[in-house]
Amino acid sequence: MFSFLSKKKYREETALVFIVESGKIISAIIKYDDSNLPEIIFSQKSNIDIEQTVDPVKLQEAVLAKLSSTAESILKDQLAVLKISNSHSISIHIFLGSLWCVTKKVGSEYIKEKEFFISEDLIMKISKEDPPNSDTEVMIEKKVVSIKANGYNIETPLNQRANELMIVSLVSTSPKIFIDEVEKKLLQYFPKSKIDFHTTAVAIFPVAKLLAKKQDFIVFIPEHEVSDIIVARKGSVDRVVSVPYGKNSPVRDLSMTFKGSAGEAHSILTLYMADKLEEDKRKNVSSFLDESKIKFQNYLRDALRKLSSTIFLPEDIVLSNNSVMTKLIGEWIHTEEFTSKTMTIKSFNVSFMENKDIINEVTIRNKSNYVNPILISVVLYLKSN
């Protein structure tokens, strides 16, 4: 993302953040002060029960209900922290995970016969030339990811001369009915608040880039019901694709196979990953996971083929967190055969975003608060915008 497109100004405010995924909602209160690191005053995780089948309508209802109850509890328990009164408002930021938004690349051209100077105002003007929102979809976010002048990528475009300019942006849209319901739920509890929408993928990317320490890499974001893959080339987003397999998928499959609850299945998989299952049960789970692995890798290969239709893929994959289910998926990515059959490497270099890598970029008032790499990424993303 291009930092010069963000207005620099002194900032001192408290923000209320909701990270809305398909299996949980992370809520947090963040204090921003330009003279200090962002401070996580309060944060918590609210899980959404795993159903045996994924019904989009029921899942949306469950997410909205959980969002409403979470907002109510924050207003009740954190009123003193928020310092809300009838004469004050609060800034609310909603970060949507997969299922609730779609992200794609769009390009905007600007061509003149005579050369012109590239200014920030011109870049913003070109990138904001969007088609109007449809009756069913609304654009929630747009970020410039690359700029070409006279056909060449440029990292520092300001004040350079050109007669052709191509602005490439990431555009995220969400169903209008879902956005309307989210706003309706939150405004019940914070009636004077301004609500801004973002995506977790766009927030995660800059931190993943920092951790990858490379310009060409892949970000794998395993959501609960689906996963997103972002391919970065030359430091900017090149392609984005979704995989219909998430962290809940092996849990759901295991619970159906062994006729147990999702909670029991998750516990079994956690023990398996920690190598703490008795031998007989471990063999059964291992056999089951071999089948789940094949299913996941088939989805992954289809996605990789779409992403690598013309040139080789980067070798490094950064996964967006290090939870038990994410580490399982990371093992499956590391052992897939796509790279050895179609590329010059035997396997991807798989790494995980961990709290320890970025925790020094924030402060945490209450050490018992729930903090994960995605929340820290969101905190840092809001700081830079």
Residue 49 makes CB contacts below 8 A (sequence gap 6+) with 62, 262
- Cite the DSSP H helix spans in 170-317: 176-189, 200-212, 248-257, 262-273, 279-307
Residue 165: predicted pLDDT: 86
Residue 7 pLDDT > 80: no
The per-residue DSSP string of 133-173 comes to: P-SSEEEEEEEEEEEEETTEE-S--TT-EEEEEEEEEEEEE
Distances in Å between the Cα of 48 and the Cα atoms of 26, 93, 178, 262, 289 are 11, 20, 17, 11, 24
Phi, psi of 115 (to 5 degrees): -65, 150
Taking phi first (over 0 means left), then psi (-120 to 50 degrees means alpha), and beta for anything else, what does residue 307 get? Answer: alpha
Residue 296: predicted pLDDT: 93
Residue 259 pLDDT > 60: yes
Of the pLDDT bands very low, low, confident and very high (cuts 50, 70, 90), residue 182 is very high
Of the candidates 306, 283, 117, 175, the residue with the CA atom closest to the CA atom of residue 230 = 306
Domains of the chain plus CATH, in order, are: 3-100+176-205+357-383 (3.30.420.40), 104-132+141-171 (3.30.1490.110), 213-353 (3.30.420.40)
Please give the single-letter amino acid code of residue 2. F
Is the Cβ–Cβ distance between 237 and 169 less than 8 Å?
no
pLDDT digits (tens, 9 = 90+) for 42-75: 999 999 988 777 788 999 999 999 999 999 999 8
